[in-house]
Structure 1
């Protein structure tokens, strides 16, 4: 059962920037209530979208340099990476159905 992977400064490039598929990175912190609220939805979506995208998590308390590098000022923030480049972001907690729509839109090729 696929779960979101936890990434750090050490493995971010390998696991996110060089990933063979699109990646959604959840910037979160353990003390953040909205972050904890969306965690079960992200776990479910990681399983649902397995093979189509990877869901990763960055604890901003432990890895502040990554949050700074990607200009994360509030959490939760989801940043969507395609071929190593951030292409979209979603700030704040969303219900599972809305997160699913955001994921689907991210995976839909643009003309």
Structure 2
């Protein structure tokens, strides 16, 4: 299952992580975000040890949302070595597409 992160622990959980981290910026009211939950949970198990998947609720964590300019939900941002390296906006990707995308950053 994807871990929840907050403004307070974002640096420790994402920026200081040794593996690539997919940050799922989501909102409780966002139906496409909720529809992607099962995919994120499956990917977090499939990629365990190679990549990390975390979720951040945009309503409760405005500092990180503002810092990275997130304006649409869901926004998926990959961080590597403490830096954002790739982004996808929207819920149009399948599990297989997301898996290939993340594996390209975990290599």
**Which bin holds the TM-score, normalised by the shorter protein?**
over 0.9
Instruction: For 2:103 and 2:7, locate their aligned partners in 1 and report how far apart those are by CA, in whole Å.
Output: 28
How far does the alpha carbon of each residue in 1:21-58 deviate from its partner, in whole angstroms, 9 at most, with x for none?
11100000011011011110010000000000110100
Which stretches of structure 1, 4 residues or more, deviate above 6 A after TM superposition?
Answer: none
The equivalences for 1:25-40 within 5 A come to 25-40=23-38
User: For each residue in 1:68-87, what CA deviation from the matched residue of structure 2 results, as whole angstroms up to 9, or x when unmatched?
Assistant: 10110101001100010001
TM-score (norm 2): 0.94
Shift of 1:8: 0.5
Alignment of 1:1-111 (within 5 A): 3-93=1-91, 94-108=93-107
TM-score between both structures, scaled by the size of structure 1: 0.91
Q: Which runs of 5+ in 1 are unaligned?
A: none
Q: CA deviation at 1:107?
A: 2.0
Post-superposition CA distance 1:55-105 (Å, at most 9, x none): 010000111221110110101001100010001111111221211121122
